[in-house]
Amino acid sequence: MAAAGGNEATVQSPTTWTAASPLTVLPGVGPVVARRLAAAGLRTLRDLLQFFPRRYRPLRELIAPVADAVGTLVRLQGTVRSVRSAWLPGRRSMVTFEFASADGTPFHAAFFNQPWLRKNWPPGTERGLEGQLERDGRRSYCGKRALPLPMAPDRAPCSCVIPRSRAWGRRAWWSGSAPCWRRSIGRRCRCRRCRPDSTSCTLPPRELFLAMHRPTDVATHERARLHFAVREAVALFAAVEQARRARTARQGWSFATDAPLAERIRARLPFALTADQDLALAALFGRLRGPAAMGALLQGDVGTGKTAVAVAVALAVLARGGQVAFLAPTEILAAQQAAAVAAWLGGSNVEVILLTAALTRAERQAIGERLRTGGRHLVFGTHALLSASVAFACLALVVIDEQHRFGVDQRMALVQKGKDPHVLVMTATPIPRTLALTMFGDLDVVTLRSRPPGRRPVPARFLATDRWPRVLRSIARAIRRGGRVFVVCPAVGEDGEKGGVVRMQQVLATRFKTALVHGRLPLAERQAAIAAFARGDTDVLIGTTVLEVGIDVPAATLMVVAAAERFGIGQLHQLRGRVGRGRRRGLCILCGVDGERVRAVSRTHDGFELAEADLALRGSGELLGTAQSGFAELRALDPVDDLGLLLRVRAAVRDR
Ligand code: ADP
Ligand code: MG
């Protein structure tokens, strides 16, 4: 329960609270809870105030249970008539109350794991309850499968909308097991006043917050939400518009990308481009020729061949004497891209350079020196590229792969190393149109939809955890047929923890030739493991999500994801994109606990559809998380529902 860790000694009087006060001023928030809240991005009272519920459900106030309300949320008042408690397997308990409503009709409510309620609510107690009205046999329940929520004693009885707070990552206790928390904000909004201070004077009036957390009716809530949504949209587009103006005002490098050059570039690639790649390339070359610096987003599902397009664009820029920086999220990916492209460009005058944190300082300095003096440099690198000590003589194109792994400030750090360079960002997580508009309102979007010939989508099959022996048989079969196998686990688990790669390797090493990669191993070791796997010295590569991006081993045919429920839709989709890259068809086995995300990935291969599903499941807020977008998280604005509002605000901001 959230009250654990309460630290009464440090509780200050509410009159000294400000919007910037730490959450520990709240009764019941001690260091433990504060840490959890901080992990969810909540540190101050302001954060908590602005942590709006994601959904609202209308609630009916009833005198007694009625048949036509079954399945909806209701509020019922009643007097406790009798109590029964029972212990369930696994040290769980259930307390069932029988209430009499005002007209005498009985109804029940069942509470899990709150045995103390029996003592707290003896027969005769009057309580208000909110919950889903259900029928079980001849009994009516106010909350059975869905938990009933006892009303707080000081509740205003007029509210007819229940906010549903967002689940926090895997810990859903905010909304589930600690209903008191859900309401505490609303109560505090009502009964305490934050003293204005220098930082809080920008906060809207508290009535608006109240209407967000404890709306009295749908219309009041929608008015308040629109207020916050418009504020957010204006802030968002002001930033986007500023970036757009800055970019188009600059004179980019106008590149002549004539037909002979395009032919020469195509000849350098080891394959003929697909029709989609051709179109994308033509569009991007068009931007290079334009008067302003290019700002483009190249999006396409895993395996649609974005790298080849980006490299072709890079070659055009290199041919005209500019330097190119290619930013990748992991060292493995950067190294792999550098190696592949170096092979394509063998015998040309382009110098392919790899710059990662794994190099020694002296090596990095030597590279820095070369970049500063200039040349036909195509640099692949990780965050090490962003370091202040890296400078370019004439950086003309910045390519950012897997853009969602970087924040806006990181992308900007690289862009600012050049004088108005062209920018190409790439994403394998297709972005629904509405989100593209908000995240990349200032970029031109180019999309790859088809795949290179022979690359078939990889089906995903779900197997419950208890069918692990069958997974083992599938691994053995894949190897027997000459394929290789990835096994991905959600954690490192160096202490042998369950669900960790270390333990997984111990299990699998007894039967297969295995290698291990995770983020805590030195790069050289990781690369050695991947190289051994690519050569076929080992058959099974066990890793964390470092395997998610970019790894290209054509012989790999099977991807096993353990504890698949702990991965996001985007991650699962990326992971299955790692197999079936060669002649043989790939298969992905998702092992774990069934769930929406696992089901979505098993159902469809279409990255766009998955992105929409992801959006619906998670809400846009998380997709747009600060780390990703650099914009403050959208709290009230819903880029899907509020598309109309977004477009209007964008037009208004542009005309300003
Ligand atoms: P993405 O980054 O979009 O996931 P990649 O650029 O890594 O995809 O390409 C996936 C694989 O397909 C790579 O092995 C690449 O060499 C190959 N590939 C890309 N374009 C083509 C093409 N036109 N024909 C054949 N193979 C291609
Ligand atoms: Mg890629």
Over residues 314-328, the mean pLDDT reads 93
* pLDDT recorded at residue 304: 86
pLDDT bin (cut points 50, 70, 90) of residue 629 is: very low
Query: Which range, of 54-63, 189-198, 281-290, 606-615, averages the lowest pLDDT?
Result: 189-198
- 327 is written with which tokens? 């930013």
CB of 578 within 6 A of ligand 1: the answer is: no
How far the first Cα of the chain sits from its last, in Å, is 50
Question: C-alpha angle with apex 549: 546 to 551, nearest 5 degrees?
Answer: 90
Report which of residues 261 and 14 the model is more confident about.
Answer: 261
- 377 is written with which tokens? 């440099």
Q: What is the CATH number of domain 460-604?
A: 3.40.50.300
Alpha carbon of 239 to ligand 2 centroid (Å): 28
For residue 593, the SS3 value is coil
What are the phi and psi torsion angles at 131 (to 5°)? 180, 180
Percent of the chain with pLDDT over 70: 80
| Helix (H) or strand (E) run with residue 238 in it | helix 218-249
CB of 299 within 6 A of ligand 1: the answer is: no
- Provide the mean pLDDT of the chain: 79
How do beta strands 323-327 and 377-381 pair? Answer: parallel
- Max mean pLDDT range (22-36, 46-60, 551-565): 551-565
* pLDDT recorded at residue 496: 63
Query: Which range, of 73-77, 541-545, 572-576, 585-589, averages the lowest pLDDT?
Result: 73-77
- Tell me the residue type at 199: T
Query: Are 259-429 and 460-604 in the same CATH fold?
Result: yes
For residue 194, the SS3 value is coil
pLDDT bin (cut points 50, 70, 90) of residue 37 is: confident
* pLDDT recorded at residue 143: 72
* pLDDT recorded at residue 551: 74
pTM above 0.85, yes or no: no
Tell me how far apart the alpha carbons of residues 636 and 655 are, in angstroms, rounded to a whole number: 24
CATH superfamily entry for domain 259-429: P-loop containing nucleotide triphosphate hydrolases (3.40.50.300)
Alpha carbon of 549 to ligand 2 centroid (Å): 7
CB of 428 within 6 A of ligand 1: the answer is: yes
- Could you tell me the residue ranges of all domains in the chain? 2-54+187-214, 57-161, 259-429, 460-604
Closest CA to 404 of 82, 171, 625, 179: 625
Query: To test the ligand 1 pocket, which listed residue (274, 307, 458, 548) has its Cβ within 8 A of the most ligand atoms?
Result: 307
Query: To test the ligand 1 pocket, which listed residue (266, 268, 269, 271) has its Cβ within 8 A of the most ligand atoms?
Result: 271
Tell me how far apart the alpha carbons of residues 146 and 144 are, in angstroms, rounded to a whole number: 5
Alpha carbon of 479 to ligand 2 centroid (Å): 26
What ligand 1 atom has the least distance to the C-alpha of 454? 25
Tell me how far apart the alpha carbons of residues 152 and 552 are, in angstroms, rounded to a whole number: 56
State yes or no: pLDDT of 43 exceeds 90.
no
Nearest CA to ligand 1 atom 21: 452
pLDDT bin (cut points 50, 70, 90) of residue 655 is: confident
pLDDT bin (cut points 50, 70, 90) of residue 599 is: very high
- Residues belonging to the chain: 656
Q: Which CATH class is domain 57-161?
A: mainly beta
CB of 277 within 6 A of ligand 1: the answer is: yes
C-alpha atoms less than 13 angstroms from C-alpha of 552 in its C-beta half-sphere: 15
State yes or no: pLDDT of 427 exceeds 50.
yes
* pLDDT recorded at residue 295: 86
Tell me how far apart the alpha carbons of residues 163 and 148 are, in angstroms, rounded to a whole number: 14
Is there a contact between 460 and 602 (Cβ–Cβ < 8 Å)?
A: yes
């003896």: which residue's tokens? 122
Closest CA to 432 of 582, 568, 297: 297
How do beta strands 484-488 and 149-150 pair? Answer: unpaired
- 525 is written with which tokens? 């070791």
């000694």: which residue's tokens? 9
What's the count of helices (H) and strands (E) in the chain, helices before strands?
Answer: 22, 21
Tell me how far apart the alpha carbons of residues 177 and 30 are, in angstroms, rounded to a whole number: 18
Per-residue pLDDT tens digits for 474-531? 999 999 999 999 999 988 887 766 778 888 999 999 999 999 998 888 878 888 898 8
Nearest CA to ligand 1 atom 5: 305
Tell me how far apart the alpha carbons of residues 262 and 282 are, in angstroms, rounded to a whole number: 9
Report which of residues 73 and 120 the model is more confident about.
Answer: 120
CB of 271 within 6 A of ligand 1: the answer is: yes
Per-residue pLDDT tens digits for 167-225? 343 333 333 333 344 445 445 444 344 343 333 335 567 788 878 877 777 788 888 88
Nearest bound ligand to the CA of residue 454: 1
* pLDDT recorded at residue 478: 95
* pLDDT recorded at residue 68: 86
CB of 576 within 6 A of ligand 1: the answer is: no
* pLDDT recorded at residue 437: 62
C-alpha atoms less than 13 angstroms from C-alpha of 247 in its C-beta half-sphere: 21
- Tell me the residue type at 215: P
* pLDDT recorded at residue 508: 93
CB of 432 within 6 A of ligand 1: the answer is: no
pLDDT bin (cut points 50, 70, 90) of residue 645 is: confident
pLDDT bin (cut points 50, 70, 90) of residue 2 is: very low
CB of 323 within 6 A of ligand 1: the answer is: no
* pLDDT recorded at residue 378: 96
Nearest bound ligand to the CA of residue 299: 1
Q: What is the largest CA-CA distance in the chain?
A: 91
